[in-house]
Amino acid sequence: MPYFIIVLGTAGSGKTSLTSVLQTYLVSHQLDAITVNLDPAVESLPYKPDIDVRDYVDAREIMRKTGLGPNGSLIASIDMLITNISDLKEEIDSYRANYVILDTPGQMEIFAFRPTGPLVLESIVGDHKVAALFLTDITYATRPSSLFSALLLAASTHFRLKYPQVNVLTKIDLLPREEVEKILAMLGDPEQLVSGISSEHDLRLLWDPGDVEYIAEKLTIFETIPVSNTTGEGFDDLYASIQRIVAGGEDYYTEEPNPVL
């Protein structure tokens, strides 16, 4: 019974890099991990996917044949994938791997929010255990308001896909350590996050600070792991977190449907 790890996040947040680094990490820990590229439009990958959605649908070919733009052809590709999803699933099953890492496309809204994206994931995953990783590029989350907005996006993905989810802050190698610590401190203390938001002088918020605080408390319940795909920092913590979700026993799902929330 494989465990599925779904790598989600905004464009350029490091999904593909993390997929590659995580596979190497798992394999180096004697775990059999395979990668699935679910991006029909990707041109080059830093890893060789064991299973490639481009063998099933070709976004470029669809673009050429239909005259659709890049987004339109990506939507059409994901829609078409539904028709041969059982073949893709069979190919995944044939590996009998411990872990299956799914690398999703950059335009996450197409994949996570349109009906067919979640349906593709649901069909692949079936009743296996899943950990969803929602990636945010930490360099875009340094302002308290942008951190809050990243948390909203992460939460909305969780509500759409409904998998146990860990939030991952990527590219921590690009910030001074103190700045990373400051961001983690805000995530550990919603009051700090809200006072940070309130002190941004160019802020014109329609929401009441009390409401922001209430929501910040809910949003910061998600576990957050800081990582660097470049240096490999944080992957021990990320693996431990994934383990807690997928191998945490039946109780994890039955008694606490979602302990990350």
Ligand X SMILES: Nc1nc2c(ncn2[C@@H]2O[C@H](COP(=O)(O)OP(=O)(O)OP(=O)(O)O)[C@@H](O)[C@H]2O)c(=O)[nH]1
The site for Mg ion (CB under 5 A) is made up of 15-16
Q: How far apart are CA 158 and CA 19, in angstroms?
A: 19
Mark 49-88 with x for binding to ligand X (rule: CB under 6 A) and - for no binding. Answer: ----------------------------------------
**CB 150, min distance to ligand X, A:** 14
- 16 counts as binding ligand X under rule CB under 6 A: yes
DSSP state of 199: T
CB-CB contact of 246 with 130 (8 Å): yes
218 CB-near residues (< 8 Å, 6+ apart): 155
49: amino acid identity, one letter? P
CB-CB contact of 158 with 33 (8 Å): no
- 237 counts as binding ligand X under rule CB under 6 A: no
Mark 105-144 with x for binding to ligand X (rule: CB under 6 A) and - for no binding. Answer: -x--------------------------------------
Q: How far apart are CA 240 and CA 260, in angstroms?
A: 14
Structure tokens at 54: 């481009």
**CB 10, min distance to Mg ion, A:** 11
Q: How far apart are CA 247 and CA 172, in angstroms?
A: 27
Nearer CB in complex with ligand X: 146/230 = 230
- 233 counts as binding ligand X under rule CB under 6 A: no
- Which parts of this chain interact with ligand X (CB under 6 A)? 9, 11-17, 39, 106, 170-171, 173-174, 228-230
